[in-house]
Amino acid sequence: MKRGPKTKSVGGGVGLDKLPAAPLRLNVEARKAFRELAQICEANKVLSDMSPPFLELAAMNLANVRKAQKDLDKRGLVIKVRQGERVNPAMGVHAMARQGFEACADRLGISPSKAKAVEKVEDKKEETEDPNDPEKFFKE
């Protein structure tokens, strides 16, 4: 008997009726991040049929950010090597992974800047008048 991924119903999603399962090809940390991000997307009602690839990329990057941050916490910004001292390579990994994560989060609609933009658009919609209002055309 073949088992499918465990999924649950998604409320308010566009084109996606189940919470996507974390791909098995991801490592443990990335799968955990995938589930966290999928739940955030579900809570913000931004899941769509285009979300899973961006969720996967965002999860991989978030896992790398966390791993690099652990190394920075453990060894510090500057590490000792045979030739003296040098900048911890985890800083570069952290910066690149954070940049990748931020780009994916923006595409998914869960970044803070995206949330502010969505609020602004919704506020403007309430303030503007209906362009098809018949009273607009019959004013003297």
13 part of a folded domain: yes
pTM passes above 0.75: no
Q: Which residue has the higher pLDDT, 49 or 67?
A: 67
Structure tokens at 136: 């607009």
120 part of a folded domain: no
The total domain count for the chain is 1
2 part of a folded domain: no
Q: For 56-101, how does the pLDDT look when each residue is reduced to its tens digit (9 = 90+)?
A: 999 999 999 999 999 999 999 999 999 999 999 999 999 999 999 9
140 part of a folded domain: no
Residue 88 has a pLDDT of 95
